[in-house]
Amino acid sequence: MKIIRIDVNNKSITHDLITKDSKYYLLGARGLTSQIVFDEVDPLSDPLGPKNKLIIANGILAGSPFANSGRTSVGAKSPLTNGIKEANVGGRAAMMLARHGIRALIFENTSDDLYILLINDKETKLIEANEYKGLGNYELHSKLYERYDKTIGIYSIGPAGEHLMKSATVAANDLEGYPSRHAARGGLGAVMGSKGIKAIVIIPPKESKAPMHDLKRFRETSTPFAKNLVKTKDTFSTFGTSMGMKAMSNFGGIPTKNFLMGSFNDIDKISGERLHELVVKRGGKKRLACSPTCVIKCSNLIVDEKGNHITSSLEYETMCLNGTNLMINDLDSLAYIDHFCDDTGIDTIEYGGTCGVAMECGKINWGDAQKVIKILDKEIRINTETGKLYGNGVKHIGDQLQAKRIPEIKGQGLSAYDPRVMKAMGVTYATTPMGADHTSGAAIVGRIPRQGIDYGEYTDIEHKLDLSFELQVYTTVMDAMGICYFVGPNYENMAILADVINAMYDLQLTRKDIINIGINILKTEIGFNKNAGITQDNNDVPEFFKTEASQPMNLKFSFTKDDLKNFWDRLNDYVF
């Protein structure tokens, strides 16, 4: 496998081979992006300046048939948090990169011109792309299919990325051909925009160059594992992540009215069950895979009453941050918000949080979906002053409007769970090096990192520090493998990963070795943040979560400052 470096200033492209004695040999996806950021990026540099680097990397298991192993990590210093950031995404492209024998792309320097990076069997080259300036992801992908072929893999940015907006995403095309998959958190689309990269186009290779030492041995572990996932995730496959809407409202932990409350009176109108009925009735699609090796297939495709495509992969986080959080109770409105976020290249989570602050400050009426859509399509798209206000995140708009309640941590908006109620999730928000990111360790109801251990009720603080810690470690491992964490970030699966990695690379790793991969990545990320001025003293939640009780649960965030400040001491001596 190799790493390709692209200097967008002098247009040079170089290739570095990853050998067995390389420090990067067993680093993939998040592990590789974070290590390169630590090694090569000045922690005090401008995230949108020439000293930052954008890394796009696939996982250790990319190119193999292991279930759900086709995710891409995008990493850099974040414009939102000013710390280290990784966001991962499904889609077509990760597997194509692996089959080309590419583990990572590193973009260096900055450019005022726009380029496409084209990767095929013969070469990797930059192509001038100013003709695509200002295009949304939908039109861009359509034009790229016409220019190349419908089988290509794509990473791209929309207008928000070109405008260097701090909520900008990196889009990847899904298996249906839509730009619906997004490495959304942290504003990494703005970093891609600063490099002048409008899109990366990957032509499928004729033969795979991905490593595989012993496929028979690999399949002895991977095949029964995949079959078990298909069986145990059947309900989740049917309803997808949206099944969490009604459940989280019933648990009292769904963000509602800018995190004022934890349940929504109109939840039945935008529940996962209602979405399922709507998709089936209109002839949309359910049980779609987000990447070539996905066996859980929890994604959807939503069409209007005439059968025209609106959006793909309407997820729980998008639905609650732009639904319950904004008091919007209409599924079609949520689908169109998702569409325009995908098209302009804006993080749906950050945007929903941003509009929630604006609504509380009286800039938008509660429930006004049309205004929310108009800002995306008519303001952010063309970079107006209003667009800039809404395109740069929760903290930015909160500071500009002098809001009293700003749901952000380390500069990034909170995602889809109330930290006063989902106690362990609150710990993850406060302590992860990634800002308030639930995907760093989704400590929600029912998520158990080790069988046979009682981590207590989700509303109690007892054992929740350990629960969050273990989930963050195991999730970091999954991210390094390029595996969707829906597979299960748990102790038991660490042994499974050891078996398949050993078969793929001719190694003799143990479960402890695999867990240590996650521990070492976290140490690297925490180290970068410390050098960037983000220390363990920054591990905290906004004050209003401590002083305002959630309703109807009547709970406050109750961990002490020392609990959060000393949280990562466990990295040195935790017994798994």
pLDDT at 576 over 90: no
DSSP bridge partners of 89:
72
Contact 168, 391 (CB under 8 A): yes
% the chain with pLDDT above 70: 100
CB contact burial 430-459 (16+ within 10 A = b; e otherwise): bbbbbbbbbbbbbbbbebebeeeeebeebb
Report the distance separating Cα 378 and Cα 387, nearest Å: 8
pLDDT digits (tens, 9 = 90+) for 505-518: 999 999 999 999 99
Q: What would the 3-class secondary structure string for 93-133 be?
A: HHHHHHHCCEEEEEEECCCCCCEEEEECCCCEEEEECHHHC
Record: fold of 423-572: 1.10.599
- State the average pLDDT over residues 303-310: 97
- State the average pLDDT over residues 270-279: 97
Residue indicated by tokens 């970068």: 528
pLDDT in the model for residue 241:
95
Least confident of 125-139, 320-334, 445-459: 445-459
Report the distance separating Cα 247 and Cα 235, nearest Å: 14
Q: Label residue 254 by pLDDT band (50, 70, 90).
A: very high
pLDDT in the model for residue 160:
98
Q: Between vectors from CA 560 to CA 555 and to CA 563, what angle results, nearest 5°?
A: 120
pLDDT at 330 over 90: yes
Q: Label residue 575 by pLDDT band (50, 70, 90).
A: confident
pLDDT digits (tens, 9 = 90+) for 208-227: 999 999 999 999 999 999 99
- State the average pLDDT over residues 14-33: 95
pLDDT at 355 over 90: yes
Least confident of 347-351, 364-368, 569-573: 569-573
DSSP bridge partners of 115:
128, 197
- State the average pLDDT over residues 63-83: 97
Contact 178, 309 (CB under 8 A): yes
- State the average pLDDT over residues 139-154: 97
Domain residue extents for the chain: 2-202, 226-413, 423-572
pLDDT in the model for residue 103:
98
Per-residue DSSP letter, 549: P
- The structure's pTM equals 0.97
Question: Residue 138 carries which side chain, given as an amino acid letter?
Answer: Y
| CATH number of this structure's domain 2-202 | 3.60.9.10
Which secondary structure element, helix H or strand E, spans residue 191, and what is its range?
helix 188-194
Residue indicated by tokens 């630590």: 38
Sequence-distant (6+) residues with CB within 8 A of 121 are 100, 203, 205, 206
CB contact burial 38-47 (16+ within 10 A = b; e otherwise): beebebeeeb
Record: fold of 226-413: 1.10.569
- State the average pLDDT over residues 83-88: 98
pLDDT digits (tens, 9 = 90+) for 119-133: 999 999 999 999 999
Report the distance separating Cα 427 and Cα 105, nearest Å: 33
Structure token digits, residue 375: 């800002």
- State the average pLDDT over residues 72-76: 98
DSSP bridge partners of 413:
408
pLDDT at 329 over 90: yes
pLDDT at 446 over 90: no
Contact 152, 201 (CB under 8 A): yes
pLDDT digits (tens, 9 = 90+) for 371-412: 999 999 999 999 999 999 999 999 999 999 999 999 999 999
Contact 63, 210 (CB under 8 A): yes
Which secondary structure element, helix H or strand E, spans residue 170, and what is its range?
strand 170-172
Q: Label residue 472 by pLDDT band (50, 70, 90).
A: very high
% the chain with pLDDT above 90: 98
Structure token digits, residue 275: 């979405």
pLDDT digits (tens, 9 = 90+) for 159-201: 999 999 999 999 999 999 999 999 999 999 999 999 999 999 9
DSSP letter string, 241-309: GGGHHHHHHHHT-S-BTTTTBS--TTGGGGSHHHHHHHHHHHT-EEEE-SSTT-SS--EEEEE-TTS-E
